[in-house]
Structure 1
């Protein structure tokens, strides 16, 4: 089977700019979550969220910037870092053998909300002429393809919270099948606006704002968990066949070794342990590994009451009781929805390379720790050769990705 290397990592999130900034914050337990104002006019309660505060593409000319939704600008930032680390020239040396695979849940939802606001408040009603190209789910992938001349394939995946993880997995198979030698993969999301926050609040899965400690509003696997906090950001990876990377003298950061995808086909929003277990088992089979080979799992861990319990059950079914260290990093960077899988895979690769496991932050007591070996408190040193990242989505889509040391 064709071996696929990860040769570049990039990230931008509420924890800062850069894949190292992400890893440093996770290991230190530093939260990017903060209090966001509500809106009395729209009956939106103040809420906790993890917002990106770094400037995005500050030197871009206004005429060019008009083509981008915020999630597209986030994509550019993360992809630029990954591409630079890979050591590739500005554009792909062989464009017809270079692909892009990008995931997003709601793509240009920020631009959509702006267009609705203009439609209902402006007189005469008017929306921006680039609204359509800002909103479309493949906009970020298209911008990246043009920037780096990626012409072999463009995969734009919108599968809720599994979007970017699935995009990465499908790109892995694309390279193994010989359709391309390399791919720029990842995801981006930006939905910290009134319409989105209202929707999540109405669904009853958003954590209430912790008035005393807003940064601790999200508590995955904690007994007092009350829901997710939204985050925004992007993450990118450059993946290449080992033969392609060796030929140009590239150094592998890790191996993208396994991809498993399953569908619950049970319920639109309630997760299913059996479906999740099928995805993890499929990823192990794809990587040619046994459960005992996995030294760390970055859990989907959204901090919902049902979601965390079901994931603990599914991990136990595949790996056994407390058989592998587990942590959920959404407590610190928030839930990036479609981009979450990519960001958490970057975090997983960093844990593997540093041989240090980030803790699940803000856990006080956890009955679920009787089922899984939950990393809490301080970061944990570990000697591991393989790690798994889980992404489970509304609609019942489950993805597990496995990385190994090169």
Structure 2
């Protein structure tokens, strides 16, 4: 069995907007969501740069018992999933009566682990930890909470694949629906933004220290880039069998046409143009399209010296001389880590819907490897029908997705 897989609902909670329309305005206007969090510097970080997110207020929305078990990233994911289900026209009655699955990307839950350890260190009594921390601290915190809140009865697991987690979650959901194993799956990615979660990245010297102008710190493909900016939130998508969506009268936003993946097989933090190219090529092949047909590439480019370089080389090998516009929305959002592969699909579908390419802001002088790429430095108003979205992560995990505008 080989079925068509479509997107019928989307939700987003990020540093550039708490819903799709706020996000759309930020993307179109090239508005950065990056700022300084003084607590990071007080804690001992080299860099205080981060995506600035508003935390959702769930008191009065969810009961206290439910709220106690929600980690930070699960709170973001709840808001994104709620928006996605609403757009898809899926209510509580539908969820109770039908089998709907959930596959989410999430690769850490640091804050509750550290807070529980601090209680133990101070009180020496595990009874004082309380019941909520176990459900907040497990890597499956998003899945277990959302599946309970929304009464989901289908496939239920977490994808832990570093910064490709959100993309792989969509790819795996795509494969399950395509093969007839599920009719509908909630897929996405979530990332905590508390300073506990990113100290180890700061220790690697991976973060930009361009703190004098936070909005200009994330500079994908620019020769003067000096590191990524940590960010997060959550993105959720309702993936559905095409015939199933049509039968229930759903509005189809886009179609997922291809999923490509690979592993670099090299150093644990070493990017690879060969690995990147393999994932992109596999996604294009499954979608049945050529590089010439792609209108836009949402690049993984995080603003790190090595990562951007190798992706640019891979993109040049695939797209040199082709028409595809390229930009990294991380120039505005920072690196949303475990959620990025999912949020960037949401960003891309928004661009499809409204006919524009979001700019790669802060690109003043492209690095040598990116000089031949067709990078959008300002908003481009143009039809967008086919998109390739890249996500790469530590350990050499690569994911690429091809999405097609609904017709």
The answer, yes or no, to whether TM exceeds 0.5 is yes
Corresponding residue SS for 2:92: coil
Matching residue of 1:374:
375
TM-score (norm 2): 0.94
How far residue 318 of structure 1 moved from its aligned partner, in angstroms, is 1.9
* Mapped partners of 1:187, 1:180: distance in 2: 19
Matching residue of 1:219:
219
Matching residue of 2:286:
286
* Mapped partners of 2:59, 2:215: distance in 1: 28
How far residue 210 of structure 1 moved from its aligned partner, in angstroms, is 2.1
Q: Deviations over 1:175-229 (max 9, x none)?
A: 0111111111101110421x33321111011111422x12221111111100100
* Mapped partners of 2:360, 2:255: distance in 1: 25
* Mapped partners of 1:50, 1:305: distance in 2: 20
Matching residue of 2:22:
21
Residues 152, 179 of structure 1: 8 Å contact kept = no
Q: Deviations over 1:229-250 (max 9, x none)?
A: 0112000011111110111111
CA change 1:30–1:123 in 2 (3 A) is: same
* Mapped partners of 1:95, 1:319: distance in 2: 46
2:155 counterpart (147, 153, 162): 153
Q: Deviations over 1:346-393 (max 9, x none)?
A: 0011111212000011112113442211110x2001223200110000
Q: What are the equivalent positions in structure 2 for 1:130-169 lying under 5 Å apart?
A: 130-169=132-171
Which is worse superposed, 229-238 or 53-62? 53-62
TM-score (norm 1): 0.94
Matching of residue 111 in structure 1 with residue 122 in structure 2: no
Matching residue of 2:326:
326
CA change 1:12–1:39 in 2 (3 A) is: closer
How far residue 96 of structure 1 moved from its aligned partner, in angstroms, is 5.6
Q: Deviations over 1:100-130 (max 9, x none)?
A: 1101121x22211222333334566753432
Matching residue of 2:299:
299
* Mapped partners of 1:321, 1:20: distance in 2: 34
Matching residue of 1:313:
313
Residues 110, 191 of structure 1: 8 Å contact kept = no
How far residue 4 of structure 1 moved from its aligned partner, in angstroms, is 1.1
CA change 1:240–1:39 in 2 (3 A) is: closer
Matching residue of 1:403:
403
Q: What are the equivalent positions in structure 2 for 1:3-402 lying under 5 Å apart?
A: 3-38=4-39, 42-59=43-60, 60-92=62-94, 97-106=99-108, 108-122=109-123, 126-193=128-195, 195-211=196-212, 213-321=213-321, 323-367=323-367, 368-376=369-377, 378-402=378-402
Unaligned runs of 5+ in 1: none
Corresponding residue SS for 1:100: strand
Corresponding residue SS for 1:225: coil
Q: Deviations over 1:79-108 (max 9, x none)?
A: 0000000011224457563211101121x2
Corresponding residue SS for 2:239: strand
How far residue 271 of structure 1 moved from its aligned partner, in angstroms, is 0.5
CA change 1:39–1:360 in 2 (3 A) is: closer
How far residue 46 of structure 1 moved from its aligned partner, in angstroms, is 4.4
* Mapped partners of 1:302, 1:95: distance in 2: 42
Q: Deviations over 1:321-361 (max 9, x none)?
A: 46421100112112111111111110011111212000011
Which is worse superposed, 56-65 or 10-19? 56-65
* Mapped partners of 1:322, 1:305: distance in 2: 25
CA change 1:34–1:93 in 2 (3 A) is: closer
How far residue 299 of structure 1 moved from its aligned partner, in angstroms, is 0.4
In the alignment of these two chains, the number of paired residues is 402
